[in-house]
A and B are shown apart, each in its own frame.
Chain A
Amino acid sequence: MATAFKTVEPLEYYRRFLKENCRPDGRELGSITTADGSALVKLGNTTVICGIKAELAAPAVDSANKGYIVPNVELPSLCSTRFRSGPPGEEAQAASQFIADVIENSQMIAKEDLCIANGKLAWVLYCDIICLDYDGNILDASAFALLAALKNVQLPSVTINEETGLSEVNLKQKNPLIIRKHPVATSFAIFDDTLLIVDPTAEEEDLATGTVTIVTDDEDRLCSVHKPGGSPLTGAKLQDCITRAITRHKEVKKLIDKVIKSIKPK
């Protein structure tokens, strides 16, 4: 079988696996009208959907002026045979934590923006990221889906009635969220300590001796360098990854801007 012999190419060859489809709006699978914001991202065969639901809650006692962002990644048995049905397994939990860290590290949303009344009422953004087709590089796809979905979240305006002290929601008047940073994740698979492949497929991930994920923001700052074990890398190799991630960020940013712009003028 021809596909069985996939040659492993060094870093220069990374562009091969770069195709994605971002569908944050409207009339497609990615648009979930029951959610307050949603996006579908395809990265090769890997397909991830993110739906965001906003609810109201009292802020936590120790951070009275902050709202909540609750990201969860689900890898249902539907997306690959490697996952069993039931509660999230280790990989899903690690991915959830990664996404939570990205949100926290990049400060893409200031949690203060989600607060409506200090100590009384704040938004909770439940970001549920579900993988529909698992073909590797789930972290990049999840982070991207989250960003795209957050970009088209529309929150109804909430006011606190002075007299009754009750909150009133105006569902007709909706405002977008303020996205302060645009973190973009770029993952690499490491083969035998020297070869790096960007955007690995599931097959490549299985064969690789390690992975590294770099998250950068608009100002080329690092929001996360996530290398959970695997083959050791030198600082120089790590630098190569970062350089590539910075380029990648620009590409993805362009894509997302274009998509968001295309649905705005309506």
Chain B
Amino acid sequence: MSFEPKILGIACNWCTYTGADLAGTTRLQYPQNLRVVRVMCSSRINPSFIFKAFQLGADGVLVGGCHPGDCHYNTGNLYARRRLAVTKKILEFSGMEPGRFRVEWISASEGNKFAEVVREFTEEIRNLGPQTKFKIS
């Protein structure tokens, strides 16, 4: 059987989650490997959530937020950008494949982009194979 990755998505309520809804409303098709947790703002994302997700066996983690400048809470995603960039560097230096963690800015109107990102990311994770480094067995 081919490898079906498990991907955890964490999406902000105002942009990316709504964008994901729009992808559905417009019936765009994308792989079903992504499971989304809704938070109010990408800045809510604690870096430990990301580490934890990998420990729980996520093969990839996708974070979605509003475009910088469009944050519902003005500046949340600007903090998130820095914090998640550091998260990414830490993952990389710990030996995790850099491709497994991605941050995308997807607005409420970008249903297309949401679907496209999910397709692309799922494919990338599929190519990377199962994530075993952090996974607690």
Whether A and B are associated in the same complex: the answer reads no
Which B residues form the contact surface with A (CB < 8 A)? none
